[in-house]
Chains A and B, each alone.
Chain A
Amino acid sequence: MAIDLKRYTPARVALARTGHSVATAELLRFQLDHARARDAGYVELDAAAITLPHTLVRSAARDRATFLRRPDLGRTLSNESRAQLACGRYDAAIVIADGLSAPAIHHHALPLLEALLPRIADWALAPLTVALQARVALGDEIGEALGASMVVVLIGERPGLTSPDSLGIYLTWNPRRGRTDAERNCISNVRTEGVSYDLAAHKLHSLMEASRMRRLSGVALKEDAPLLLP
């Protein structure tokens, strides 16, 4: 084909062939991408790399294998961790969670917070929490325990073949155990080739302001919130 199809899509088109199969270089390129995505799921979150002061908590999933098989345990705090969280009165709590990709946190959590924190300097923020073996909904229990009006969870997303370190952000108003995903707002695909830190921080700040004003989050907020202009 005379035209270069690769110009038009990130999909793996126009691959070099041998017989009916892909050529060796293409095969290995795929295997490398898969290996990186696989490894991303098993990298342990290095809490020491989060240089901001924080409280370290764990979910009830004691290891990665349990975490993958038991999403319910990844949404529940371990007993020891629950005792660590003191209740106060806060506008928001921020939780950094490994989720399915610790590299997403290693690469993007701090730069994102650096872009966000100046925007919410006047907010009463709960002490920062770092959570291990954590699903998104673990933030509900953490936010409730801290006495925060909303919880913002920064979490490693399911690793894609070409995006092993993508970070997702979930905002939930009035966090309580048992909140559903329909009650959250999400900004996904924060990574070098995806949504920039500045844009993500801007969108998140807009959502936080709108959520605080309207005292809700989720589908209703997404549809008709008057978001701040860039």
Chain B
Amino acid sequence: MSLRELFAKASPARSGDELAGIAARTAEERVRAQMTLADLPLKSILADPVIPYESDEVTRLICDTHDAAAFAPIAHLTVGGFRDWLLSDDATTESLAALAPGITPEMAAAVSKLMRVQDLIAVGAKCRVVTRFRSTIGLPGRMSTRLQPNHPTDDLQGIAASILDGLSLGSGDAVIGVNPASDNVASTESLLRLLDAIRERYAIPTQTCVLAHVTTTMEALRRGAPVDLVFQSIAGTEAANSAFGVTLAMLDEAHLAALELGRGENVMYFETGQGSALSANAHHGVDQQTCEARAYAVARRYRPLLVNTVVGFIGPEYLYNGKQIQRAGLEDHFCGKLLGLPMGCDICYTNHAEADQDDMDALLTLLAVAGCTYIMGVPGADDVMLHYQSTSFHDALYVRNVLGLRPAPEFEAWLERRPELSPAPWLLT
């Protein structure tokens, strides 16, 4: 059996791997595969890429940037031994941070397949990744939110109304980020100017982003629009990225252009999600969770300010129900953090999935305990443009309150100054 087949059979059950025809056929076959995987040396994962080096630039990125010195402390371990080590007292916040460049996405994916939910939480909570723009994201005891004020027709007043609502409920310290309904330069530019004007008007210590295609943002940047973060959806194979209309060379170029604005090291924002490679028929027979972890190798090349999985957005043919969405969200958070990313999660579902608000409440609570860097803040949890349900401003308040979590320190200080959020006439009338 190839490594690729073993990984797929060892993966906890989910509809996407069944749709791809690569999942274990019985519960016993799955556990037998997990037992075989547990005995596999980490070195053999390094030596045998799941997608060939010659045919995939993400594989080349993973192999060419692997840090052998960082890997040395765990180089003798099997996948099962790696799980034991991660849960031991030897795996501290400091040792995990030092190890990150030595871990490949396939190693992270492999070990996650042997871990229960509590293991994913316990190790995730030990990892710490701190990034900075105007606010500092990922400090201990903090959990940030992306304020997501989408509108079905990109109406500027409508977006401003949602932003004011979110700010008044303490949302937006990770980023104020709009998904544009139409991905064109003119509309992106006017949205960027609106977001920047609001941030300036209320002197908010946060950053803004229009989640347009990277090429659209680059053109807006050339026209002088106020770009804080450059966004792109990414995936874990070259072919899936190609379906998103991006290559590593394009991302390199965008990253360089954003860095040239001279506003720090963390200037990129990425979104990912299990199933994207399969839906583009670009998975090469690799299970969707391993494909997802490979997307994190793409992300970490650019030292992003923010990365989040949009875990339940893709639909029930990839993650069927609340149980599968919950497990996937925790896997993605764990793998991202282990690889050194500032990992957040869009805790979400669609109306044709077997999931509801109770499932989201459970995943929100689990992820917050796991130290998730940030979540979404959507008015009333209902995204009226993308037609799915995420977490609300109130959901963030709930989880901060019960777990004693606070927003980013700069944003917290701004909130404590009790900013006057009365809308200016130019904004809403």
Asked whether, in the complex, the Cβ of B352 is within 8 Å of the Cβ of A11, the reply is no
* Given known A-B contacts A10-B384, A11-B382, A69-B18, A5 and B164 have beta carbons under 8 A apart: yes
Which listed residue, B150, B157, B351, B397, touches A160 by the CB 8 Å rule?
Answer: B351
Which listed residue, B162, B315, B317, B356, touches A9 by the CB 8 Å rule?
Answer: B162
Q: Which of A30-38, A48-56, A116-124 makes up part of the contact surface?
A: A30-38
Q: Which of A19-27, A87-95, A105-113, A141-149 makes up part of the contact surface?
A: A19-27
Which listed residue, B161, B317, B422, touches A8 by the CB 8 Å rule?
Answer: B161
Report the bound CA distance from A34 to B158 in whole Å. 23
Residues of B within 8 A of A103 (CB): none
Interface residues on A, range: 35 or more
Report the bound CA distance from A21 to B392 in whole Å. 10
* Given known A-B contacts A8-B157, A69-B316, A158 and B382 have beta carbons under 8 A apart: no
**A83 interface residue per 8 A CB criterion:** no
Asked whether, in the complex, the Cβ of A1 is within 8 Å of the Cβ of B351, the reply is no
Q: In the complex, how many angstroms separate the beta carbon of A68 from the nearest chain B beta carbon?
A: 5
> Chain A: residues with CB nearer than 8 A to chain B?
1-3, 5-15, 17, 20-22, 26, 30-31, 33-34, 37-38, 40-41, 68-72, 100, 158-164
Asked whether, in the complex, the Cβ of B428 is within 8 Å of the Cβ of A3, the reply is yes
Within 8 A of A (CB), among B8-44: 15, 18-19
Asked whether, in the complex, the Cβ of A160 is within 8 Å of the Cβ of B387, the reply is yes
Per-residue A-contact encoding for B160-177, CB less than 8 Å = 1, 0 else: 111011001000000000
Asked whether, in the complex, the Cβ of A161 is within 8 Å of the Cβ of B398, the reply is no
Which listed residue, B382, B387, B397, touches A30 by the CB 8 Å rule?
Answer: B382
Q: Which 6 A-B pairs have the closest CB atoms?
A: A12-B380, A9-B158, A8-B161, A20-B397, A160-B387, A37-B351
Residues of A within 8 A of B152 (CB): 10
Asked whether, in the complex, the Cβ of B382 is within 8 Å of the Cβ of A12, the reply is yes
Asked whether, in the complex, the Cβ of A11 is within 8 Å of the Cβ of B158, the reply is yes
Q: In the complex, how many angstroms separate the beta carbon of A105 from the nearest chain B beta carbon?
A: 16
Residues of A within 8 A of B357 (CB): 30-31, 34
Some 29 contacts from A to B, beta carbons below 8 A apart, are A1-B422, A5-B165, A9-B161, A10-B152, A10-B384, A11-B165, A12-B380, A12-B384, A13-B161, A13-B162, A21-B394, A22-B392, A26-B380, A30-B357, A30-B380, A30-B382, A34-B356, A34-B357, A34-B389, A38-B351, A38-B356, A41-B352, A68-B352, A100-B352, A158-B315, A158-B351, A158-B387, A159-B351, A160-B387
Residues of A within 8 A of B422 (CB): 1-3
Report the bound CA distance from A21 to B397 in whole Å. 8
A-B contact count (CB 8 A): 122
Report the bound CA distance from A20 to B155 in whole Å. 28
**B52 interface residue per 8 A CB criterion:** no
Asked whether, in the complex, the Cβ of B387 is within 8 Å of the Cβ of A11, the reply is no
Q: In the complex, how many angstroms separate the beta carbon of B239 from the nearest chain A beta carbon?
A: 15
Asked whether, in the complex, the Cβ of B19 is within 8 Å of the Cβ of A72, the reply is yes
Which listed residue, A6, A68, A160, touches B317 by the CB 8 Å rule?
Answer: A68
Asked whether, in the complex, the Cβ of B158 is within 8 Å of the Cβ of A20, the reply is no
Report the bound CA distance from A71 to B19 in whole Å. 8
> Chain B: residues with CB nearer than 8 A to chain A?
15, 18-19, 149-152, 155, 157-162, 164-165, 168, 315-317, 320, 350-352, 356-357, 378-382, 384, 387, 389, 392, 394, 397-398, 401, 421-423, 428
Asked whether, in the complex, the Cβ of A8 is within 8 Å of the Cβ of B158, the reply is yes
Asked whether, in the complex, the Cβ of A71 is within 8 Å of the Cβ of B317, the reply is yes
Residues of B within 8 A of A34 (CB): 351, 356-357, 389
Residues of B within 8 A of A40 (CB): 351
Report the bound CA distance from A21 to B384 in whole Å. 20
Q: In the complex, how many angstroms separate the beta carbon of B315 from the nearest chain A beta carbon?
A: 8
User: Can you add 9 more A-B contacts, CB < 8 Å, to A12-B380, A70-B317, A161-B384?
Assistant: A5-B164, A6-B161, A10-B384, A14-B165, A21-B398, A30-B382, A68-B317, A69-B317, A69-B320
Asked whether, in the complex, the Cβ of B155 is within 8 Å of the Cβ of A9, the reply is yes
Which listed residue, B15, B157, B398, B421, touches A69 by the CB 8 Å rule?
Answer: B15
Report the bound CA distance from A79 to B389 in whole Å. 38
Asked whether, in the complex, the Cβ of B151 is within 8 Å of the Cβ of A9, the reply is yes
Report the bound CA distance from A9 to B164 in whole Å. 12
Residues of A within 8 A of B351 (CB): 34, 37-38, 40-41, 158-161, 164
Which listed residue, A3, A15, A20, A164, touches B380 by the CB 8 Å rule?
Answer: A15
Asked whether, in the complex, the Cβ of B165 is within 8 Å of the Cβ of A13, the reply is yes
Asked whether, in the complex, the Cβ of B382 is within 8 Å of the Cβ of A161, the reply is yes
Residues of A within 8 A of B384 (CB): 9-12, 161-162
